[in-house]
Amino acid sequence: MLIDIIKHSTRFLALLLLQGLVLNNIELSDYINPFLYVLFILSLPLYASKYLVLALSFVMGISIDIFSSTLGMHTAACVFMGFLRPYILKILEPRDGYENNFSVNIADMGMKWYAIYVVIMVFTHHLFLFYVESFSFSQFFSTFGRALVSTIFTLLLISITQLFYYKPSKKRR
Amino acid sequence: MRNFIQFLVKNSFVFLFLFLEVIAFALLIKNNNYQNSKFFNSSNYLVGNLYESVSNVTDYFNLKTTNSELAQHNAELLSANINSFTKIYGNTILINDTSYFQKYVYTSAKVINNSTNQRENYITLDKGAINGIKPGMAVVNSNGIVGIVKNVSPNFSSVISLLHQKMSISGKLKKSEYFGSVIWDSDENNHRTATLKEIPNHVEIQKGDTILTSGFSAIFPEGLPIGTVQYFDVPKGSNFYNIIIELTTDFKQLSHVYVVKSLQKEELDKLEGLIPKDVN
């Protein structure tokens, strides 16, 4: 338990600094901006209560907002994502339920489960974020396109982080 | 009543979600109205210091371009120096009998944080109230205009970049002196171009024409370069041109800027009183 708290706090800080200092400065063709920090909310433990997840999403969002002077934007998107998480976990729940000691990463949950989970969560977050940013539906398709392309880049970065967890030897056993 | 409380308890998760979303949107809307709380912007002490130490490292990557820019600027100043002028011997002698007084004071500052990819971009500078910087001052660099100071803390200040969807600056065509407003098109999201509006369609313009600041708002000194005409046309049924200009300032390479204090601004603002400012 204590180890988990330390682990997730470290991940929080690392992702916050990475997003605020490095990734916010990355932009390909003025449209694409990856938001890797959502990985923190994605990989909160399965046993964490949904209230805690919602509160932590709020904290993560507002920290990112303070860094990028976009107060409220990321907070709204993160809270929405934290709200959806328990429902998506319920939909994706295996027949025998989740194993208690599993963490949310590609090695424990398996490639297929993790891919579906991450794609749904990241895409809803990005859609919400980009529509809040433009604050109108007037450029519906251009905003949708920006969300889509940024989602692809965020997913790319998340899959790179999952390479650290992926242990083929453990899988084959 | 009991049923109501039961209903609240049963749906407490949804209510917590709605409560947090309301906070987020309240912050968002407050922020959009530029009454940004002083604590949460990027001139706040902790983040400001962090950005400064990161900028201390990343500055080295831009040294080459910064050096050449400074060298060029030095050369311009040297050529304006009194020593680079000689007396004219001949029949005509120019006599200048106007006495001058100073109108603008420049303070140099370093950019420690900068964004170009948002719809509302801000820049953080390493000088603040201690150095005499106040909200409403203009920020320029050797190439052109940069933005307007929005908030100041003792050691830092945050600047609304020209690349901001609500920024509008009065600019004029150098050739014909016709003026309009320069607005950045946030939907295009291109950090190199902006739009010049309100130029009537009988004015002759050409590709490459220079656009300068008009000096009407007393924030920016008159005659600073803003950009050059890149493309223009007249939309059907409109009396005004649609002009795309290429900005002279490269917002991705900002490192040293000057904050301009206008010594006459207060007097002018007092006089113009009720007239709404063109920059909000």
pLDDT in tens, B199-217: 888 888 888 889 998 877 7
Q: What is the pLDDT of residue B32?
A: 57
Q: Are B256 and B232 in contact (CB under 8 A)?
A: no
Whether A160 is covered by a domain: the verdict is yes
**What's the domain count of chain A?**
1
Q: What is the pLDDT of residue B35?
A: 42
Give B71 or B128, the one with higher predicted confidence: B128
The mean per-residue pLDDT over the stretch B37-55 comes to: 68
What is the pLDDT confidence band of residue A38, given thresholds at 50, 70 and 90? very high
Whether A172 is covered by a domain: the verdict is no
Buried b (16+ CB within 10 A) or exposed e, B120-159: bbbbbbbbbeebebeebbbbbbbbbbbbbbbbbbebbbbb
Q: By percentage, how much of chain A surpasses pLDDT 90?
A: 39
Whether A72 sits inside 8 A of B29 (CB atoms) is yes
Lowest mean pLDDT among A5-14, A146-155, B178-187, B242-251: B178-187
Whether A33 is covered by a domain: the verdict is yes
Whether the per-residue pLDDT at B280 is higher than 70: the answer is: no
The mean per-residue pLDDT over the stretch A2-19 comes to: 91
The mean per-residue pLDDT over the stretch B101-130 comes to: 83
Whether A35 is covered by a domain: the verdict is yes
Task: Return d(Cα A74, Cα A64) in angstroms, integer.
Answer: 7
Which of B13, B116, B189 is opposite residue A50, by nearest beta carbon? B13
Q: What is the mean pLDDT of chain B?
A: 80
Query: Is A10 touching B (CB cutoff 8 A)?
Result: no
Whether A173 is covered by a domain: the verdict is no
Task: Provide the 10 A C-beta neighbour count for residue A82.
Answer: 27
ipTM over 0.90: no
Q: What is the pLDDT of residue A173?
A: 41
What is the pLDDT confidence band of residue B118, given thresholds at 50, 70 and 90? confident
Q: What is the pLDDT of residue A41?
A: 92
Query: Is B15 touching A (CB cutoff 8 A)?
Result: no
Can you give the residue ranges of every domain in chain B?
2-29, 168-250
Residue B75 half-sphere exposure toward CB, CA atoms < 13 A = 6
**Closest to B169 in 3D by CA, of B122, B210, B217:** B217
**Closest to A58 in 3D by CA, of B27, B31, B43:** B27
Q: What is the mean pLDDT of chain A?
A: 85
The single-letter DSSP state of residue A22 is: I
| CATH node for B168-250 | 2.40.10.350
Whether A100 is covered by a domain: the verdict is yes
Tell me if residue A112 falls in helix, strand or coil: helix
Whether A102 is covered by a domain: the verdict is yes
Give A40 or A28, the one with higher predicted confidence: A40
Interface of B with A in 106-135 (CB under 8 A): 115-120, 122
pLDDT in tens, A113-125: 899 999 999 999 9
Whether A17 is covered by a domain: the verdict is yes
Query: Is A47 touching B (CB cutoff 8 A)?
Result: no
Give the residue ranges of DSSP H helices in chain B.
2-10, 12-32, 45-58, 63-80, 265-272
User: Is the alpha carbon torsion for B136, B137, B139, B140 positive or negative?
Assistant: positive
When scoring B14, B27, B124 by the number of chain A Cβ atoms within 10 A, the one with the most, hence best to mutate, is B27
Q: Are B195 and B155 in contact (CB under 8 A)?
A: no
Q: How many CB pairs lie under 8 A apart between chains A and B?
A: 84
Whether A66 sits inside 8 A of B21 (CB atoms) is no
Q: Which amino acid is at B221?
A: P
pLDDT in tens, B235-259: 888 888 889 999 998 888 888 888 8
Q: Can you give the residue range of the structural domain that contains A50?
A: 2-167
Whether B13 sits inside 8 A of A51 (CB atoms) is yes
User: Is the alpha carbon torsion for B137, B141, B144, B147 positive or negative?
Assistant: negative
